[in-house]
A and B are shown apart, each in its own frame.
Chain A
């Protein structure tokens, strides 16, 4: 059965800390892995990763994919209170009639001042 597992489920840090969020997956027909940030509303897109070893970077956030070991990490450096959110990882299963995103449960990050 396809699954996406995120860890930790929750995390509390202080402003300025660096955090690493993990996402491992077992998906039949991998196409891409996506990271989203969800605050009070719907998820907002962060990164899409399709190739191993190529870091995607946006400001203080970066992410990388390892297709051999089937995982991805999302790094946030110099965290700010505005980074507090649930970070969702999803993997797209590209298998024929069952193409869809498989979602993890998310990591709830709280950044304290």
Chain B
């Protein structure tokens, strides 16, 4: 149980284009989903917390107009990197929690984004 999927697993895009990453909870309803990014040899950095049906809460320093998050259903959240630049290249990981149990998060397999 508690399986989270992400799509795509890797993507290469050109500078200036937008990329959408999907995060799905497969066998449970995720009221809250989280988006992280991870640079090589660094730990996870929380970008935003996404609650179903409401606007995402972004961490300080994360541009909400650049990283658009939509959480339209209890099993799907999407992250769109708009007008991507090479510095946006990173490993993006989503996680989901069961009900209000934010302290127990289950992670998707991650999406490797490379912007050329």
Contact = CB atoms under 8 A, between A and B. Distances in A.
Interface of A: 31-32, 34, 36, 41-45, 48, 88, 90, 92, 94, 99-101, 103-106
Contact of B43 (A41, A100, A103): A103
Given A32-B103, A32-B104, A34-B104, A103 B44 contact: yes
Interface residues of B, number: 18
B107 A92 contact: no
Interface of B: 6, 34, 42-46, 49, 93, 102-110
Contacts of A44: 107
Max chain B C-beta neighbours (<10 A), residue from A31, A94, A103: A103
A43 B108 CA distance: 8
Contacts of A48: 103-104
A27 to B, nearest CB: 11
Contact of A100 (B49, B104, B108): B49
